[in-house]
Structure 1
Amino acid sequence: MSLEVGKAAPDFESKDQNGNPVKLSDFRGKKVVLYFYPKDNTPGCTAQACNLRDNYEALQKAGYVVLGVSSDSQKSHQKFIEKQNLPFSLIADEDLTVHKAYGTWVEKSMYGRKHMGTARTTFIIDEKGILEEIIEKVDTKAHTNQILK
């Protein structure tokens, strides 16, 4: 991964689950949890999203805005948010622009077959848009603890 703690987080513009434009620079002055996950409504991704949902108040109290990113469609994100009652926005990065800017679209291997997919990674970005932390070994069931530690 070419991104480094202490450097500026890449700005991006994409769309959320409702088609609204989302820019990282819109969140200057707030801390951002930008988490990349492989797929809506899969076991690990659901566990991760629900952990963030269940601890959302603590994250907000600590000054964080939470944004999830996957290559799923806006419609898929809407269903995931409704089904899991998620209080934060999900970015539909179907063209992989945000993934590529953050180096999270990578070659993966499953059952000996190689394919491209999302590296589950979380970026903690400070109020000035600087990368504060990069969490590459995400604990889906205790992710909030990794963020707030």
Structure 2
Amino acid sequence: MDPNSFTSTYLRNTFSCVPISSEVLEQTLILMSDTARYMNAVNIERYTILEMDVFVRTTSSDGVNDIDDQNASITTLLNLLEKVKLDDITSSIEQCAICLEEFCNESKLEIVRTKCMHVFHEHCIARWLKRCYITHQLYSCPLCRSQIQ
């Protein structure tokens, strides 16, 4: 890939916000360029526009701090959720929308309610929030996607 071409400059600018080293960025751009050339070569329908979806996932070399940050963020969010008793839940809500397990008095699982009034087991919503953290998405309700903060 010609480093001075419009495409190369455009891709460099597009991916400059991704926290990766310049060496990794260069290798990624080369792979993308090779893939684009291959897509064009096998384009038997002769489409004028070809699309390529690129997903970039970065991980740090120091996983300990990431895990500590993740746990702190999720714990903070869980503390913001209202803990509720089974008696406080309306009769129309019978099960956790994540694990689909019925809420019952015999269960020792904590039940929490979001601001949007959806109810989940605390450990289920914690797993959901962990997924949001890992995928760099907003912390949201798994049912209505309203923001949890």
Normalising by structure 1, we get a TM-score of: 0.22
With a CA cutoff of 8 Å and minimum separation of 6, indicate the structure with the bigger relative contact order: 1
Greater percentage in helix: 2
Greater percentage in strand: 1
State which structure, 1 or 2, has the greater radius of gyration over its C-alpha atoms.
2
